[in-house]
Amino acid sequence: MDRLFQNHRIRARQSLEGLWDFGKLRALSIDQLAENIDYNYKLSVPGCWEMHPQLLTYRGQGRYRKSIYIENSAHVRLLFKGVSHTAKVYWDGEQIAEHYNAYTAFDTVIMDVQSGVHELCVEVDNSFGQHSALHLPNDYYTYGGMIRPVIIEILPLQSCSIQWVQFTPIKEDWTTDEEGNWQANVRIALQSHADHDIKGHIQFELSPLQQSTLWKQELPEITLKAGQYLEFAHTFTFSNIQSWSCEHPYLYEWQTLWYQHQSNTIELVDDWVERVGFRTINTYEGKLLLNHQPIVLKGFNRHEDHPMVGASFPIALMVQDLELMIHTGANAVRTSHYPNDERFLDLCDEYGILVWEENHARGLSIEDMRHPQFIEQCEQVNREMVTQHYNHPSIIIWAILNECASDQEEGRVHYQRQLEQIRSLDHSRPLSFASHHRANEICFDLADIVSFNLYPGWYGDEDPGELCDLARQWADQAGGKGKPMIMSEFGADGFYGYRSPNRVKGTEERQADIIESNLKAYTERAYISGMFIWQFCDCRVTEEGIWPMMRARTQNNKGIVDGYRRPKLAYEVVTRYFK
């Protein structure tokens, strides 16, 4: 399934996980594909096609096919949690949806589906080219396929469905917390699928996990016109609440229920369950405050990549990554450089791991940012990332545009526009971006937290402490004064198993030395609010572009564990500092 808990108990839904037919598509031109396809392969969904022995390096287009049986006529919702990079969805041969970007979800509703067998096809394209501003040859691999879960839902014909629910915990006063008093602002959206007016009411319920309901409230009856979309918001007050923190990641279930009123009956027709946590996150006088207390983030940059599964992680491997991180004493992870699989975020909520989640953009030059679709594609990812992952208490920072052109006026326009866009979608979390522009950075005034990617000891031989103090000065001079500072990347190559007393670059010893000198400097400095090691695990890089020439074994080898999660020497060093 797509979540780690039952996020619907009333709505009928099923995972479309399994073997799908798959055929490569031959491109006749950029927009035209050869029509006749031989479905020569069977591929697992979710999955990356590179895991198939005959498609190990396939970059291009392909079509997936599956037969779907619908028992009774209904509206059908299809939910794709991640198709890499682009998807065109066909139902009985007719195109019904299109989506760009591997790392955010999309859905589509097919109205009035008759009972019987139907054909669902998904055309997937992981090629680079003019259609794509964000997926480029890069220092990580972008796989092909339906890499995250696909879900089918059955929506009753004359009814409405809950579209989304946003839960924002609020605590105005931390001085008198004995009663566990909290508020929450709750926004929801309803969509009628009926062809006439329908009446009903919403009920909200709050329950600690696996326990009976703590609080419930029924809203007054409303009428929805045929096909009407309706959004509304309420603020509620609760007592006896346990707050969510790293040490006690206390989660509640927030249920939203739609009861439909017929002439003499009231029927529970749709539901939406979220797991929520009561916590606040903000910045104050150079500190990052979680529940009003200063916190220092200690963690890793992590690519969703594994030699056995590519970017399509089963839960067991997500748990393994988190356990390895937690064992070092880490309390945070940065989802470099794209929004992550939501099940990983569910796990972070449960484990109390704090998340810096960022949009999908790495190392774009000003020329890349001039791509005609750059604005639209970025804003779409931002909107989908924030609205889809809004309720995760673990996410405490939204970030954008890693190492892009934030040193130029033309680039600044994009930083400003995107940060404003995210603020308009969510004003409850601080914003940041990771910069490598040192003294030339010009966008720190736009963010809430200043963040530096610096590699002392690896790309240069500066002293990490001196460089860090200098970075604080650069930030202060460039509009970042009074803002918390995070070392968002530092690290070094270390080839797993390459050990040598000469400790040359590339040995596990040298990697451990460099990481140690960085960690020593940052943990000693009170003005540092966070540090993210580059990186958790080695990852594959694209064969296109400069990358194979820059990266031995066509991998970024800076993981403190290798691709198979075997710890390098640096792992123990990190454990000493983080613990």
Select 436 or 510, whichever has its Cβ closest to ligand ADA. 436
Burial of 468-502, coded b for 16+ CB within 10 Å and e otherwise, reads: bebbbebbbebbbeebbbbbbbbbbbbbbebeeee
DSSP H or E run through 132:
none
Backbone angles phi, psi at 362, to 5 degrees: -135, 125
CB of 415 to ligand ADA, least distance (A): 16
Instruction: Measure CA 449 to chain center.
Output: 19
Residue 562 is which amino acid? Answer: D
The 81-120 contact track toward ligand ADA, x by CB under 6 A, reads: ----------------------------------------
- Provide, rounded to whole angstroms, the least separation between the CB of residue 459 and ligand ADA: 7
DSSP type of residue 158? T
Q: How far is the CB of 537 from ligand ADA (least distance, A)?
A: 13
Identity of the residue, 286 or 559, whose beta carbon is nearer to ligand ADA in the bound complex: 559
- CB 364 → ligand ADA: shortest distance, Å? 11
> What residues contact residue 363 under an 8 Å CB cut-off, 6+ apart?
138, 139, 402, 403, 404
Rounded to an integer, what distance in angstroms lies between the CA atom of residue 150 and that of residue 129? 26
Residue 541 CA to residue 533 CA, distance in Å, equals 18
Per-residue binding string, ligand ADA, 398-417, x by CB under 6 A, is ----xx--------------
What's the closest the beta carbon of residue 555 comes to ligand ADA, in angstroms?
Answer: 10
Residues 298, 491, 500: CA angle, nearest 5 degrees: 125
Min dist CB 458 to ligand ADA, Å, is 8
CB of 494 to ligand ADA, least distance (A): 12
3 state SS of 236:
strand
Q: Which is nearer to ligand ADA, 139 or 346 (CB)?
A: 139
Report whether 325 contacts 486 (CB < 8 A): no
Choose between 459 and 564: whose C-beta lies nearer to ligand ADA. 459
Residues 164-203 touching ligand ADA, rule: CB under 6 A, are: none
Burial class of residue 515 in the structure, from the number of CB atoms within 10 Å of its CB (0-12 exposed, 13-18 middle, 19+ buried)? buried
> Does the protein bind ligand ADA through residue 279 (CB under 6 A)?
no
Calpha distance 65→61 (Å, rounded): 14
The nearest distance, CB 514 to ligand ADA, in angstroms, is: 12
Contact with ligand ADA (CB under 6 A): which of 2, 271, 489, 516?
A: 489
Q: Which of 44, 283, 451, 556 binds ligand ADA (CB under 6 A)?
A: 556
* Sole binder of ligand ADA in the list 334, 389, 436, 540 (CB under 6 A): 436
- Cβ atoms of 542 and 143 within 8 Å: the answer is no
| Locus of tokens 């500190």 | 287
Comparing CB distances to ligand ADA, the nearer of 313 and 534 is 534
Q: How far is CA 521 from the centre of its chain?
A: 30
Q: Does 518 sit near ligand ADA (CB under 6 A)? A: no
* Minimum CB distance to ligand ADA, residue 535 (Å): 7
Nearest residue to the partner ligand ADA, using Cβ: 139
Please give the Cα distance from 191 to 162 (Å, whole number).
Answer: 6
* Helices within 122-183 (DSSP H only): none
Most distant CA atoms of the chain, gap in Å: 83
Shortest CB 330 distance to ligand ADA, Å: 18
Q: Which is nearer to ligand ADA, 341 or 489 (CB)?
A: 489
Which distant-in-sequence residues (6+ apart) come within 8 Å of 150 by Cβ? 15, 16, 17, 45, 46, 78, 79, 80, 81
Task: Quote the tokens at residue 150.
Answer: 């696909």
**For ligand ADA, the closer CB: 200 or 494:** 494
- C-beta of 269 vs 487, nearer to ligand ADA: 487
Which of 99, 302, 306, 362 is close enough to bind ligand ADA by CB under 6 A? Answer: 362
Burial class (CB in 10 A: 0-12, 13-18, 19+), 95: exposed
Report the nearest approach of ligand ADA to the CB of residue 168 (Å): 31
Q: Give least dist CB 556 to ligand ADA, A.
A: 5
- With binding defined as CB under 6 A, does residue 139 bind ligand ADA? yes
**Least separation, in Å, of the C-beta of 133 and ligand ADA?**
17
| Residue 218 Cβ vs ligand ADA, minimum distance, rounded to whole Å | 49
**Interface residue with ligand ADA, options 534, 536, 547, 571 (CB under 6 A):** 534
Q: Would you say 7 or 402 has its CB closer to ligand ADA?
A: 402
Q: Which of 403/509 has CB closer to ligand ADA?
A: 403
Decide: is 542 part of the binding site for ligand ADA (CB under 6 A).
no
Judged by DSSP in three states, 445 sits in helix
Ramachandran sector of residue 101 (left: φ over 0; alpha: ψ -120 to 50; beta: rest): left
User: Of the two residues 198 and 397, which places its CB atom closer to ligand ADA in the complex?
Assistant: 397
Can you tell me which of 84, 132, 159, 453 binds ligand ADA, judged by CB under 6 A? 453
User: 275, 306, 429, 558: which one contacts ligand ADA (CB under 6 A)?
Assistant: 558
Q: Count residues contacting ligand ADA (CB under 6 A)?
A: 10
Strands 555-556 and 354-358: unpaired
- 360: Cβ contacts below 8 Å, ≥ 6 apart: 101, 102, 103, 104, 134, 135, 337, 338, 339, 381
Instruction: Kindly list the residues in this chain that would bind ligand ADA in the complex (CB under 6 A).
Output: 139, 362, 402-403, 436, 453, 489, 534, 556, 558
